[in-house]
Amino acid sequence: MLTQEMNIFLTRTGPGTPMGELFRRYWIPALLDWELPERDCPPVRVKLLGEKLVAFRDTEGRIGMIDEFCAHRGVSLWFGRNEECGLRCPYHGWKYDVNGQCVDLPSEPEESGMRQGIKLKSYPCVELGGVVWTYMGPPEEKPPLPNFEWVHLPPSHRVTTKRWQESNYLQAVEGGIDSSHVSFLHRGDLATDPFDRNTAGAKFAKSTKTTFHILDSAGGLLIGARRDADPGNYYWRITQWIMPWYTLIPPYAGNALNGHAWVPIDDENCMAWSMTFHPTHPIPEEHIELIKDGNGVHPELIPGTFRPAANRSNDYLIDRAKQKSGRHYNGVRGLAMQDASVQESMGPIADRTKEHLRSTDRAIIVARQRMVKA
């Protein structure tokens, strides 16, 4: 249980908040690289940590991440013209480069020099591992680039997707840290999911009697969930939580690995990133097709959006008959939307003053403590 004050401390991420300032010291996954497919392509709206931004790829291939709104009259630059190394406001033609600097005021005399004093907020961007990353903190505190294993693999070895989740980032991260729910929420998929079925890990993960061991690491936590396996043996499921919002999920057998990131859009929404990757060989084409069909940790999306097809408005397409028959524990298809259904049901920001944590929640408690001290 948390006090209301501590719940606010951990869940608010806007400018000037404790968590908001912490998160701005990390490189943040902002876009999939294919969202800006070519030079001078249409700009993309981006909202991160409560800030409304717009991203664009200029004529030279550079990526800009700048304030969404023109300094002149506050018009959204998403409607702008991306041309000749800048994003031009459609209202009066003010133009900005990737650093947010106004480079053209067509209605003002060139000799006035007025444009030199006009600059929008901007954040540096890099492309790495099929992702556009941005840094929103003080320039002097910029950290090294992300060094996850998957960002260095060739495109054939990885699949990265993202989906909009209607909840605060923290209840999503805590869901990734919580290994005990696998035995319940995901029980049906452990037997039927094409990636995991018929593996020893999927068989033993159904055991509800779990002992937890937690180890601190420099960047987060190692969370060991020990379950009984064959007589005289244990099955260990090791989850990694990496500050501030990443988890790496243990694979079953020789399958690809999976990871997640839950990046705050604002205090009541987050973007849930999912990464499937194999360090030594390409992801098989048949697995790519299964992912596109909404299997594993990658849900089916509404075409042209990052909104899941199964969502709050349609009760996640829950199948009560399948749930009642015992073939499925909660009746929602797919690991990702099973998680989202329960996490979003807590409300936009979970009220942690009413929770009752027990021994299986130790990792959540320790992770909260780490974030408070960070």
**Residue 193's pLDDT is what?**
65
Distance CA 129, CA 289 (A): 21
pLDDT digits (tens, 9 = 90+) for 109-165: 877 778 889 999 999 999 999 999 999 999 999 999 999 999 999 999 999 999 999
List the one residue out of 262, 233, 241, 239 whose CA is nearest residue 251.
Answer: 239
Residue 10 has pLDDT above 80, yes or no: yes
Distance CA 42, CA 215 (A): 46
Distance CA 210, CA 235 (A): 10
* CATH node for 27-142: 2.102.10.10
Query: Residues spanned by CATH 3.90.380.10 within the chain?
Result: 152-373
CA 293 to chain centre: 20
* Amino acid sitting at position 129: G
**Residue 14's pLDDT is what?**
99
**Residue 200's pLDDT is what?**
60
Query: What six digits make up the tokens of 173?
Result: 């991260």
Phi and psi at residue 11, in whole multiples of 5°? -105, -20
Residue 266: which pLDDT band, with cuts at 50, 70 and 90? very high
Residue 194: which pLDDT band, with cuts at 50, 70 and 90? low
Give the distance between the most distant pair of CA atoms in the chain: 84
Query: Residues spanned by CATH 2.102.10.10 within the chain?
Result: 27-142
**Residue 250's pLDDT is what?**
80
Question: Which one is predicted more confidently, 137 or 206?
Answer: 137
Residue 203: which pLDDT band, with cuts at 50, 70 and 90? low
Average of per-residue pLDDT across 360-372:
96
pLDDT digits (tens, 9 = 90+) for 164-189: 999 999 999 999 999 889 888 988 77
- Prior bond to 244 cis, omega within 30? yes
Query: What six digits make up the tokens of 1?
Result: 């249980």
How far is the CA of 266 from the CAs of 12, 52, 160, 189, 348, in angstroms?
A: 8, 10, 22, 31, 10
CA atoms within 13 A on the CB side of 312: 14
Average of per-residue pLDDT across 360-365:
95
Of 3.40.50.1220, 3.90.79.10, 3.65.10.10, 3.90.380.10, the CATH number of 152-373 is 3.90.380.10
* Count of positions (residues) in the chain: 374
